Amino acid sequence: MSVLLIAPYPEQRRRELEQLLGPVHYYPWTELGRARTGTELLELLQRIDARAVIVELDEVTEEVIADHPLDFIGVCRATPVNVAVQAASKRAIPVFRTIGRNVQAVVELVIGTIITMLRHVRQSETWLKGENWIDQFGPYLQFQGSELHGKKVGVIGLGAVGKRIAKLLEAFSCEIVYYDPYVEQSEVPAYQALPLEDLLAKSDIVTVHLPSLPETHGLLSLTLLAHLQPHALFVNTSRSSVVDNDALYELLSNKQIAGAILDVFDAEPPGPREHALIQLDNVLATPHIAGASHDVYHHHAAIMNEQIIAWLKQSQVETAEPIS
Protein backbone atom coordinates (compact mmCIF):
# COMPACT_ATOMS: atom_id res chain seq x y z
CA MET A 1 0.00 0.00 0.00
CA SER A 2 1.27 3.46 -0.89
CA VAL A 3 0.64 6.18 1.72
CA LEU A 4 0.53 9.95 1.31
CA LEU A 5 1.72 11.47 4.58
CA ILE A 6 1.23 15.23 4.84
CA ALA A 7 0.97 15.56 8.60
CA PRO A 8 4.27 16.43 10.31
CA TYR A 9 5.75 13.11 11.42
CA PRO A 10 9.06 12.33 13.16
CA GLU A 11 11.45 10.17 11.15
CA GLN A 12 11.27 7.17 13.47
CA ARG A 13 7.49 7.06 13.20
CA ARG A 14 7.70 7.37 9.40
CA ARG A 15 9.97 4.33 9.30
CA GLU A 16 7.42 2.44 11.39
CA LEU A 17 4.73 3.37 8.87
CA GLU A 18 6.84 2.09 5.98
CA GLN A 19 7.35 -1.21 7.77
CA LEU A 20 3.62 -1.49 8.40
CA LEU A 21 2.21 -0.35 5.06
CA GLY A 22 4.88 0.07 2.40
CA PRO A 23 6.07 3.23 0.59
CA VAL A 24 5.40 6.48 2.41
CA HIS A 25 5.40 9.73 0.40
CA TYR A 26 6.13 12.54 2.85
CA TYR A 27 4.99 16.06 1.93
CA PRO A 28 4.28 17.81 5.27
CA TRP A 29 2.07 20.87 5.09
CA THR A 30 4.64 22.72 7.22
CA GLU A 31 7.02 22.82 4.24
CA LEU A 32 4.31 24.37 2.06
CA GLY A 33 3.43 26.79 4.84
CA ARG A 34 -0.33 26.22 4.58
CA ALA A 35 -2.93 23.51 4.35
CA ARG A 36 -3.68 22.08 0.91
CA THR A 37 -7.10 22.52 -0.62
CA GLY A 38 -9.14 19.49 -1.62
CA THR A 39 -8.18 20.04 -5.27
CA GLU A 40 -4.47 20.16 -4.44
CA LEU A 41 -4.74 17.07 -2.27
CA LEU A 42 -6.59 15.13 -4.97
CA GLU A 43 -3.93 15.99 -7.55
CA LEU A 44 -1.19 14.80 -5.19
CA LEU A 45 -3.01 11.57 -4.35
CA GLN A 46 -3.55 10.77 -8.01
CA ARG A 47 0.01 11.64 -8.98
CA ILE A 48 1.56 9.19 -6.51
CA ASP A 49 -1.39 6.75 -6.61
CA ALA A 50 -1.63 6.55 -2.81
CA ARG A 51 -4.21 4.24 -1.27
CA ALA A 52 -4.20 5.99 2.12
CA VAL A 53 -3.68 9.53 3.36
CA ILE A 54 -2.67 10.94 6.73
CA VAL A 55 -3.33 14.66 7.22
CA GLU A 56 -3.37 17.23 9.97
CA LEU A 57 -4.92 20.37 8.50
CA ASP A 58 -5.33 19.61 4.79
CA GLU A 59 -8.84 19.30 3.38
CA VAL A 60 -10.12 15.80 2.58
CA THR A 61 -13.29 16.87 0.80
CA GLU A 62 -16.21 14.88 -0.59
CA GLU A 63 -14.64 15.27 -4.05
CA VAL A 64 -11.36 13.75 -2.87
CA ILE A 65 -13.19 10.79 -1.38
CA ALA A 66 -15.41 10.33 -4.44
CA ASP A 67 -12.65 10.64 -7.05
CA HIS A 68 -9.82 8.65 -5.48
CA PRO A 69 -10.03 5.21 -3.81
CA LEU A 70 -8.73 5.20 -0.24
CA ASP A 71 -8.34 2.35 2.24
CA PHE A 72 -8.25 4.70 5.19
CA ILE A 73 -7.92 8.36 6.17
CA GLY A 74 -5.79 9.38 9.12
CA VAL A 75 -6.38 12.75 10.78
CA CYS A 76 -3.78 13.95 13.27
CA ARG A 77 -6.24 15.84 15.45
CA ALA A 78 -9.08 14.97 17.78
CA THR A 79 -11.92 16.52 15.79
CA PRO A 80 -11.64 15.89 12.03
CA VAL A 81 -13.29 19.13 10.91
CA ASN A 82 -11.20 19.13 7.73
CA VAL A 83 -12.47 15.72 6.59
CA ALA A 84 -15.79 14.88 4.94
CA VAL A 85 -16.46 12.13 7.46
CA GLN A 86 -19.97 11.40 6.21
CA ALA A 87 -18.72 10.83 2.68
CA ALA A 88 -16.02 8.51 4.00
CA SER A 89 -18.53 6.62 6.12
CA LYS A 90 -20.79 6.03 3.11
CA ARG A 91 -17.87 4.35 1.36
CA ALA A 92 -16.84 2.39 4.48
CA ILE A 93 -13.52 4.24 4.66
CA PRO A 94 -12.33 4.38 8.27
CA VAL A 95 -11.22 7.76 9.58
CA PHE A 96 -8.62 7.45 12.33
CA ARG A 97 -8.09 10.29 14.81
CA THR A 98 -5.43 11.14 17.38
CA ILE A 99 -7.48 11.99 20.44
CA GLY A 100 -5.39 13.48 23.24
CA ARG A 101 -2.36 14.36 21.12
CA ASN A 102 -2.06 17.92 22.44
CA VAL A 103 -3.52 17.54 25.92
CA GLN A 104 -0.23 18.15 27.73
CA ALA A 105 0.64 21.14 25.55
CA VAL A 106 -2.71 22.81 26.24
CA VAL A 107 -2.60 22.06 29.95
CA GLU A 108 0.89 23.51 30.37
CA LEU A 109 -0.03 26.71 28.54
CA VAL A 110 -3.19 27.12 30.59
CA ILE A 111 -1.43 26.73 33.93
CA GLY A 112 1.56 28.80 32.83
CA THR A 113 -0.57 31.72 31.65
CA ILE A 114 -2.77 31.61 34.75
CA ILE A 115 0.32 32.03 36.93
CA THR A 116 1.65 34.71 34.57
CA MET A 117 -1.61 36.63 34.96
CA LEU A 118 -1.95 36.17 38.71
CA ARG A 119 1.63 37.31 39.34
CA HIS A 120 1.62 40.29 36.92
CA VAL A 121 4.61 38.87 35.05
CA ARG A 122 3.97 40.74 31.77
CA GLN A 123 3.42 44.10 33.42
CA SER A 124 6.48 43.81 35.64
CA GLU A 125 8.68 42.75 32.72
CA THR A 126 7.53 45.71 30.60
CA TRP A 127 8.08 48.05 33.55
CA LEU A 128 11.57 46.65 34.16
CA LYS A 129 12.60 46.87 30.50
CA GLY A 130 11.41 50.48 30.53
CA GLU A 131 14.17 51.22 33.08
CA ASN A 132 11.67 52.22 35.74
CA TRP A 133 13.32 50.47 38.69
CA ILE A 134 14.59 53.34 40.79
CA ASP A 135 13.26 52.65 44.27
CA GLN A 136 14.56 49.31 45.59
CA PHE A 137 11.28 48.12 47.12
CA GLY A 138 8.85 49.84 44.74
CA PRO A 139 8.20 46.82 42.46
CA TYR A 140 7.67 44.55 45.46
CA LEU A 141 4.64 46.64 46.38
CA GLN A 142 3.53 47.57 42.84
CA PHE A 143 3.45 44.06 41.41
CA GLN A 144 2.27 41.97 44.32
CA GLY A 145 0.02 39.30 42.87
CA SER A 146 -1.94 36.27 43.97
CA GLU A 147 -0.91 32.66 44.34
CA LEU A 148 -2.63 29.86 42.47
CA HIS A 149 -2.42 27.79 45.63
CA GLY A 150 -5.79 27.22 47.27
CA LYS A 151 -7.89 28.85 44.58
CA LYS A 152 -11.28 27.48 43.61
CA VAL A 153 -11.03 26.55 39.94
CA GLY A 154 -14.11 25.86 37.83
CA VAL A 155 -13.48 23.51 34.91
CA ILE A 156 -16.14 23.67 32.19
CA GLY A 157 -15.82 20.45 30.20
CA LEU A 158 -14.17 17.53 31.96
CA GLY A 159 -12.80 15.74 28.93
CA ALA A 160 -9.16 14.78 28.40
CA VAL A 161 -7.82 18.33 28.81
CA GLY A 162 -10.18 19.30 31.61
CA LYS A 163 -9.34 16.19 33.62
CA ARG A 164 -5.57 16.67 33.15
CA ILE A 165 -5.77 20.30 34.27
CA ALA A 166 -7.84 19.36 37.31
CA LYS A 167 -5.32 16.65 38.23
CA LEU A 168 -2.32 18.98 37.96
CA LEU A 169 -4.10 21.72 39.90
CA GLU A 170 -4.40 19.32 42.82
CA ALA A 171 -0.65 19.85 43.31
CA PHE A 172 -1.47 23.52 44.01
CA SER A 173 -4.12 22.50 46.57
CA CYS A 174 -6.81 24.02 44.38
CA GLU A 175 -10.44 23.18 45.00
CA ILE A 176 -11.87 21.80 41.77
CA VAL A 177 -15.49 22.24 40.76
CA TYR A 178 -16.75 21.28 37.33
CA TYR A 179 -19.60 21.42 34.88
CA ASP A 180 -20.01 18.56 32.42
CA PRO A 181 -23.39 16.88 31.90
CA TYR A 182 -21.65 13.78 30.54
CA VAL A 183 -19.43 13.15 33.59
CA GLU A 184 -21.08 11.71 36.67
CA GLN A 185 -19.95 12.87 40.11
CA SER A 186 -19.16 9.25 40.99
CA GLU A 187 -16.51 9.17 38.22
CA VAL A 188 -14.57 12.03 39.82
CA PRO A 189 -15.35 11.92 43.54
CA ALA A 190 -12.55 14.37 44.38
CA TYR A 191 -14.31 17.16 42.45
CA GLN A 192 -17.69 18.80 42.94
CA ALA A 193 -20.20 18.97 40.11
CA LEU A 194 -22.07 22.27 39.94
CA PRO A 195 -24.70 23.84 37.69
CA LEU A 196 -23.04 26.22 35.27
CA GLU A 197 -24.30 29.42 36.90
CA ASP A 198 -23.14 28.25 40.34
CA LEU A 199 -19.71 27.32 39.01
CA LEU A 200 -19.29 30.77 37.47
CA ALA A 201 -20.49 32.51 40.64
CA LYS A 202 -18.25 30.57 43.03
CA SER A 203 -14.96 30.13 41.15
CA ASP A 204 -11.85 32.28 41.42
CA ILE A 205 -10.68 30.96 38.06
CA VAL A 206 -12.84 29.50 35.28
CA THR A 207 -11.22 27.49 32.49
CA VAL A 208 -13.23 26.36 29.47
CA HIS A 209 -12.59 23.09 27.63
CA LEU A 210 -15.57 22.45 25.37
CA PRO A 211 -15.84 21.16 21.81
CA SER A 212 -17.58 23.19 19.13
CA LEU A 213 -20.98 21.53 18.78
CA PRO A 214 -24.49 22.80 18.11
CA GLU A 215 -25.36 22.37 21.79
CA THR A 216 -22.28 24.30 22.99
CA HIS A 217 -22.55 27.21 20.54
CA GLY A 218 -22.87 30.44 22.53
CA LEU A 219 -23.33 28.44 25.74
CA LEU A 220 -21.50 31.02 27.85
CA SER A 221 -23.85 33.95 27.28
CA LEU A 222 -23.92 37.37 28.92
CA THR A 223 -26.56 36.10 31.34
CA LEU A 224 -24.23 33.35 32.53
CA LEU A 225 -20.95 35.29 32.36
CA ALA A 226 -22.52 37.99 34.52
CA HIS A 227 -22.36 35.50 37.41
CA LEU A 228 -18.54 35.72 37.46
CA GLN A 229 -17.03 37.34 40.55
CA PRO A 230 -15.26 40.71 40.22
CA HIS A 231 -11.89 39.08 41.00
CA ALA A 232 -12.46 36.14 38.63
CA LEU A 233 -10.07 35.12 35.88
CA PHE A 234 -11.70 33.61 32.77
CA VAL A 235 -9.71 31.26 30.51
CA ASN A 236 -10.70 29.93 27.08
CA THR A 237 -8.27 27.80 25.10
CA SER A 238 -10.88 25.50 23.56
CA ARG A 239 -13.27 27.01 21.00
CA SER A 240 -14.30 30.62 20.61
CA SER A 241 -17.81 29.69 19.47
CA VAL A 242 -18.79 28.46 22.94
CA VAL A 243 -18.49 31.99 24.38
CA ASP A 244 -20.41 35.19 23.63
CA ASN A 245 -17.25 37.24 23.13
CA ASP A 246 -19.14 40.53 22.82
CA ALA A 247 -20.49 39.89 26.30
CA LEU A 248 -17.00 38.97 27.51
CA TYR A 249 -15.64 42.22 26.05
CA GLU A 250 -18.30 44.17 27.90
CA LEU A 251 -17.42 42.57 31.25
CA LEU A 252 -13.68 43.04 30.75
CA SER A 253 -13.78 46.59 29.43
CA ASN A 254 -16.03 47.64 32.33
CA LYS A 255 -13.70 45.87 34.82
CA GLN A 256 -16.58 43.69 36.00
CA ILE A 257 -14.18 40.75 36.09
CA ALA A 258 -10.44 40.85 36.75
CA GLY A 259 -9.18 39.44 33.48
CA ALA A 260 -9.17 36.82 30.78
CA ILE A 261 -6.73 34.50 29.05
CA LEU A 262 -7.75 33.81 25.46
CA ASP A 263 -6.14 31.58 22.84
CA VAL A 264 -9.11 31.33 20.45
CA PHE A 265 -11.13 34.00 18.64
CA ASP A 266 -14.26 34.30 16.50
CA ALA A 267 -12.14 35.29 13.49
CA GLU A 268 -8.65 33.89 12.97
CA PRO A 269 -6.64 35.85 11.95
CA PRO A 270 -8.42 38.49 14.06
CA GLY A 271 -10.41 41.36 12.65
CA PRO A 272 -11.12 44.74 14.29
CA ARG A 273 -13.74 43.23 16.63
CA GLU A 274 -11.29 40.61 17.92
CA HIS A 275 -8.44 43.11 18.22
CA ALA A 276 -10.61 45.31 20.45
CA LEU A 277 -10.86 42.38 22.86
CA ILE A 278 -7.21 41.34 22.49
CA GLN A 279 -5.89 44.83 23.22
CA LEU A 280 -7.63 45.24 26.57
CA ASP A 281 -5.05 45.61 29.33
CA ASN A 282 -6.69 42.88 31.41
CA VAL A 283 -6.50 40.29 28.61
CA LEU A 284 -3.59 37.94 28.01
CA ALA A 285 -4.01 36.75 24.42
CA THR A 286 -2.11 34.13 22.43
CA PRO A 287 -2.62 33.31 18.71
CA HIS A 288 -4.22 29.85 18.98
CA ILE A 289 -0.99 28.17 20.09
CA ALA A 290 -2.15 26.21 23.15
CA GLY A 291 -1.61 22.94 21.29
CA ALA A 292 1.49 24.08 19.41
CA SER A 293 4.45 22.21 20.85
CA HIS A 294 7.05 20.22 18.93
CA ASP A 295 6.19 17.27 21.16
CA VAL A 296 2.65 17.13 19.74
CA TYR A 297 4.02 15.73 16.47
CA HIS A 298 5.56 12.83 18.39
CA HIS A 299 2.33 12.27 20.28
CA HIS A 300 0.04 12.25 17.24
CA ALA A 301 2.39 10.05 15.22
CA ALA A 302 2.56 7.46 18.00
CA ILE A 303 -1.24 7.45 18.43
CA MET A 304 -1.83 7.21 14.67
CA ASN A 305 0.58 4.31 14.26
CA GLU A 306 -1.14 2.46 17.10
CA GLN A 307 -4.49 2.97 15.36
CA ILE A 308 -3.13 1.59 12.10
CA ILE A 309 -1.57 -1.43 13.82
CA ALA A 310 -4.91 -2.21 15.45
CA TRP A 311 -6.69 -1.82 12.09
CA LEU A 312 -4.22 -4.15 10.37
CA LYS A 313 -4.82 -6.71 13.11
CA GLN A 314 -8.55 -6.26 12.54
CA SER A 315 -8.94 -5.10 16.12
CA GLN A 316 -11.71 -2.70 17.06
CA VAL A 317 -10.60 0.88 16.40
CA GLU A 318 -12.58 3.95 17.40
CA THR A 319 -13.09 5.94 14.20
CA ALA A 320 -14.71 9.28 13.53
CA GLU A 321 -18.46 9.19 13.02
CA PRO A 322 -20.56 11.63 10.99
CA ILE A 323 -22.29 14.34 13.01
CA SER A 324 -26.02 13.97 12.49
Q: Which of 184, 187, 268, 306 is catalytic?
A: 268
From 77, 97, 239, 299, active-site residue: 239
Rounded Cα distance, 294 and 296, in Å: 5
Does the annotation mark 68 as catalytic? no
Q: Classify residue 96 as exposed, middle or buried by CB count within 10 Å of its CB (0-12, 13-18, 19+).
A: buried
The reply to whether 34 belongs to the active site is no
CA distance linking residue 60 with residue 38, whole number of Å: 6
**Catalytic residue check, 268:** yes
Question: Are 56 and 77 a contacting pair, CB within 8 Å?
Answer: yes
From 14, 25, 227, 288, active-site residue = 288
Catalytic residue numbers, as ranges = 239, 268, 288
